[in-house]
A and B are shown apart, each in its own frame.
Chain A
Amino acid sequence: MEDQASSSKDDLLRNQLGEMLKNGLKTEWEERAYTSQKVNSTVARLQAVASDDYKSKLVLGGFTLEPYGEDDDISQSCATCMYYLKHRRYCELPELDCPVEPEWSCILWRI
């Protein structure tokens, strides 16, 4: 069985993505994908992005360094998202497919 713990390649890319966000990359985080229509339209836009164009993924996915808001008892962070792989610290949504930090968030968060 392939060991899918976070690899050095993942770690490097995760750091690069984090740096982009820390350096003020403006992402489309304001409008959350709270309806299925918004989810579909966002995913459709991401599908047009090259798989290694991580900057566009961050922008269109509306990534933030902090969890977004609070809904009842849960924080909308990568750590609680359905697509998050805890052991690899990775987003498995095919259209994003990138290493993340557990405290990050994006507009496609879902549980």
Chain B
Amino acid sequence: MANLLWLQGGACSGNTMSFLNAEEPSACDLVTDFGINVLWHPSLGVELGDNLQKILRDCVSGAITLDIFVFEGTVVNAPDGTGEWNRFAGRPMKQWVRELSDAASFVVAIGDCATWGGIPATAPNPSDSEGLQFLKREYGGFLGQGFKAKSGLPVINVPGCPAHPDWITQIVVAVATGRAGDIGLDEFQRPKTFFQSFTQTGCTRNMHFAYKVSATEFGQRKGCLYYDLGCRGPMTHSPCNRILWNRQSSKTRAGMPCLGCTEPEFPFFDLAPGTVFKTQTVMGFPKDMPEGVDKKGYIAMTAAAKNAAPAWAEQDIFVV
């Protein structure tokens, strides 16, 4: 039996919605098959008022063993560092977050907001938001660089806007079943099993990427979305085309560019007009190259691929 507590800070509840839609395993499986006791969750918890405060206080004091503390949303510090803009259970949420993180064996940040601040922390960041252990790419965040949960692990970051349902439940299960040691974390404390490959890995448009054939409209099945529509699949770490959404598709498969939502800089370009869904260029070259490719290599690759592209690559081969 592992006790899990889930709280929301500056959040839209998107990750909660994602979690409740998990299938492998489902939220119910966590309880019935993996022995996870959900102490409280914003959409599932039945306790209110004093009863909820008692659960939280007991977790902090150790009267209830807190095995897994899951946090969704940003830590809100405004105004003036007090956190009063996000009060919860009688006090600023940030105070609960600090004390519960210190009490928990594992701390799991779910979604971009909890991991690195996400959209709320984008300049000018009026709510003075930050993630649990990062603010965008900057290491530290609310809990600080040296923070480690009682297990010895730092915050486990499961980013995404939202995170995929199964990334959430699979990490929770791994932790709850004593396999936390198997979770290798990357430099941004993301589980490598999910975030070492690219969004492009498994993308059905890879042949169009290879032959430099561009999609020029949303929903178009022919063409790669990277060249014109701002897709960040070649430089974003996520398994969106390996662990499909709703078990059948992904953004890029549906003709929607990857927004790079598992990376600390998301949303890129600060959402300035003309920057979303449009590949940014400098002198006719993409501003952001596929990871590991430099300009000279890109030129060589493009010239060769364009020249070698077969006729079918330029045609719409999808008939239904």
Scoring A residues 13 to 36 as 1 if CB is less than 8 Å from chain B, else 0, what string do you get? Answer: 000000000000000000011111
> Which range holds the interface residue count of chain A?
20 to 34
Contact B307 A86 (CB under 8 A): yes
Q: Which of A36, A72, A82 is in CB contact (< 8 Å) with B295?
A: A72
- A73 (CB) vs chain B CBs: closest residue: B299
The CA-CA distance from A110 to B284 in the complex, in Å, is: 4
Asked whether A5 is an interface residue with its Cβ less than 8 Å from the other chain, the reply is: yes
Contact A36 B283 (CB under 8 A): no
Scoring A residues 67 to 106 as 1 if CB is less than 8 Å from chain B, else 0, what string do you get? Answer: 0000111101001101111111000111000000000000
Chain B residues in the interface with A (C-beta under 8 A): 212-214, 216-217, 227-228, 274-275, 278, 280-287, 295-296, 298-300, 302-303, 306-307, 309, 311-312, 314-317, 319
> A40-B278, A110-B281 are contacts. A92–B295 as well, Cβ < 8 Å?
no
Contact A86 B309 (CB under 8 A): yes
User: Which residues in B have their C-beta under 8 angstroms from that of A2?
Assistant: 315-316
Lowest 5 A-B CB distances belong to which pairs? A110-B284, A87-B311, A85-B314, A40-B274, A34-B283
Contact A34 B314 (CB under 8 A): no
Minimum C-beta distance from B302 to chain A (A): 5
User: Which residues in B have their C-beta under 8 angstroms from that of A72?
Assistant: 295-296, 299
User: Which residues in A have their C-beta under 8 angstroms from that of B214?
Assistant: 82-83, 92
Contact A36 B281 (CB under 8 A): yes
Contact B299 A4 (CB under 8 A): no
Contact A34 B296 (CB under 8 A): no
28 A-B contact pairs sorted by A residue (CB < 8 Å) = A1-B312, A1-B316, A1-B317, A5-B311, A33-B284, A34-B281, A34-B284, A35-B282, A36-B275, A37-B274, A39-B281, A40-B274, A71-B283, A73-B299, A73-B300, A74-B303, A76-B284, A80-B302, A80-B303, A80-B306, A82-B212, A82-B227, A83-B214, A86-B306, A87-B309, A92-B214, A109-B284, A111-B285
Other contacts beyond A82-B214, A110-B284: 6, CB < 8 A: A1-B315, A34-B282, A36-B281, A74-B302, A88-B314, A93-B216
> A1-B312, A94-B217 are contacts. A110–B306 as well, Cβ < 8 Å?
no
User: Which residues in A have their C-beta under 8 angstroms from that of B286?
Assistant: 111
Minimum C-beta distance from A80 to chain B (A): 6
User: Which residues in A have their C-beta under 8 angstroms from that of B311?
Assistant: 4-5, 87
Contact B284 A36 (CB under 8 A): no
User: Which residues in A have their C-beta under 8 angstroms from that of B317?
Assistant: 1
> A40-B278, A86-B309 are contacts. A110–B285 as well, Cβ < 8 Å?
yes
User: Which residues in B have their C-beta under 8 angstroms from that of A79?
Assistant: 306
User: Which residues in B have their C-beta under 8 angstroms from that of A1?
Assistant: 312, 315-317, 319
- A90 (CB) vs chain B CBs: closest residue: B314
